[in-house]
Amino acid sequence: MSQPSLMTIPGQVDPVPVARDITPRADGRVDLIGLPRPRIRELFEQAGLDARQAKLRAKQVFHWLYHRGVTEFEAMTDIAKTMRPWLAERFVIGRPDVVEAQHSSDGTRKWLLRTGDGHDFEMVFIPDETRGTLCISSQVGCTLNCTFCHTGTMRLVRNLTPGEIVGQVMLARDALGEWPRGTMAGLDAVEDDRGHYTADGRLLTNIVLMGMGEPLYNFDHVRDALHLIMDGDGLGLSKRRITLSTSGVIPMMERCGEEIGVNLAVSLHAVRKEVRDEIVPLNRKYGIEELLAACADYPGASNARRITFEYVMLRDKNDSDEDARELVRLLRKYDLPAKVNLIPFNPWPGAGYECSSPERIQAFSDIVFEGGISAPVRTPRGRDIDAACGQLRTAAEKKSRAQRDREARESEATAAPFA
């Protein structure tokens, strides 16, 4: 057996096996999902196409994969009929496997997904009046052990590959029936009565990296996946509609702004050292003031593009009036273009915390708001399906295979209005 390549991830972790951009498959074919255009072109050349052909085919295939969402080479109608089996013999168009799909009474949808090598991770879709937000994972598990987070109790299994990250968005578009049917000028022979796709009326409008894992500990794969998601000829989502959430990996924040350029959310959760040291242990390495200074330097942050500070409300832990005043003082001190997201703690079995009372959360919000900073309270969504970070996996582990299959079928049926 070959040794997996090892990469050291900064922080309090041991080296973990990291998949490279191409994960070899048992049948020798290469999964194209997650690869950028130049890489696809390179593979086509290696497989025997001449440079001109490889360039043209890579452009066409890229468009079909990421913009149109096709899952079979046979559907690539502007590629010669004889060429399609040639592609199918050498390449595949992957999607993560769906282990379980749940649909909440409030419209929230949640998927338990599985990698090719059998690791489970999750994704949640949360629609509201003005937008539809897909919450995606960046790792299976997490190294960072935040005490209120269920993912934190799991060992880091491995980083997700670019294909597994972008594959989540593609799967959501599959499930929501949202692939555009627009034409590709000069290359596409298909008649299309709907014409070019626009963002109007689309359900999936925003993406947040707030699922399992710490995205800045899987920087390269997250960056490569987000480039495919933002590519105008790829998934075509604006960077203004994508938010990356970090627990405060300071050394990677500047690169995140420069090389990815998406909105930043920071999981602050506490304003006193002893409390943040406990609930976000990374604080022992990168402290609060240092973190806020890095936020002040975040490339692209402005009053129009504010940094979101996430603050999970834990009873008698971080929710006093004094904490709220200290939060205002700190955000003002660093002159941060900030908004605060107050998140009611979502309990899980064995968690050593309780959620603050609604009155306490409101009082906290009022103080921050009076300090001139917007501090909405996030409404819990999908509570009937445990749609919070790291919770589906445990629930699913307790279910039998038959029960899961039945629920998946039922969920498919309820999903019909979206199709």
Q: List contacts with ligand SAH (CB under 6 A).
A: 148-150, 210, 213-214, 245-247, 267, 310, 312, 343, 345-346, 348, 388-389
CB nearer ligand SAH, residue 79 or residue 324: 324
Q: Kindly state the helix (H) or strand (E) to which residue 125 belongs, with its residue range.
A: strand 120-127
> Is residue 301 within 8 Å of 337, Cβ to Cβ?
yes
Is position 367 an interface residue for ligand SF4 (rule: CB under 6 A)? no
For residue 387, give the nearest of 131, 137, 173, 111 by alpha carbon.
111
Burial of 220 from C-beta contacts in 10 A (0-12 / 13-18 / 19+): middle
Encoded tokens for 221 = 């794969």
Amino acid identity at 328: V
Q: Which stretch binds ligand SF4 (CB under 6 A): 32-40, 113-121, 146-154, 233-241?
A: 146-154
CB nearer ligand SAH, residue 87 or residue 387: 387
Neighbours of 342 (CB within 10 A): 21
The CB-of-275 to ligand SF4 minimum distance in angstroms stands at: 15
Binding residue for ligand SF4 (CB under 6 A) from 31, 100, 214, 319? 214
CB nearer ligand SAH, residue 171 or residue 312: 312
CB nearer ligand SF4, residue 10 or residue 195: 10
- Catalytic residue IDs: 122, 389
CB nearer ligand SF4, residue 93 or residue 136: 136
Encoded tokens for 320 = 């006093």
Amino acid identity at 134: L
Q: What is the CA radius of gyration of the chain?
A: 22
Kindly tell me the number of DSSP H helices and DSSP E strands found in the chain.
Answer: 12, 15
Amino acid identity at 32: L
Amino acid identity at 2: S
The CB-of-148 to ligand SF4 minimum distance in angstroms stands at: 7
Is position 161 an interface residue for ligand SF4 (rule: CB under 6 A)? no
Is position 222 an interface residue for ligand SF4 (rule: CB under 6 A)? no
Binders of ligand SF4 in range 239-268 (CB under 6 A): 247, 267
Is position 146 an interface residue for ligand SF4 (rule: CB under 6 A)? yes
Is position 218 an interface residue for ligand SF4 (rule: CB under 6 A)? no
CA 136 to each of CA 37, 327, 407: distance values in angstroms, whole numbers, following the listed order: 23, 28, 22
The CB-of-266 to ligand SAH minimum distance in angstroms stands at: 7
Binding residue for ligand SF4 (CB under 6 A) from 133, 151, 283, 391? 151
Amino acid identity at 279: I
The CB-of-222 to ligand SAH minimum distance in angstroms stands at: 11
Is position 35 an interface residue for ligand SF4 (rule: CB under 6 A)? no
CB nearer ligand SF4, residue 268 or residue 385: 268
**Measured distance CA(184)–CA(64) in Å, rounded:** 9
**Measured distance CA(367)–CA(322) in Å, rounded:** 9
The CB-of-356 to ligand SF4 minimum distance in angstroms stands at: 18
For residue 209, give the nearest of 280, 308, 108 by alpha carbon.
308
The CB-of-133 to ligand SAH minimum distance in angstroms stands at: 13
Secondary structure of residue 137 in the 3-state scheme? coil
Contact residues toward ligand SF4 (CB under 6 A) are 142, 144-146, 149, 151-152, 213-214, 247, 267, 389
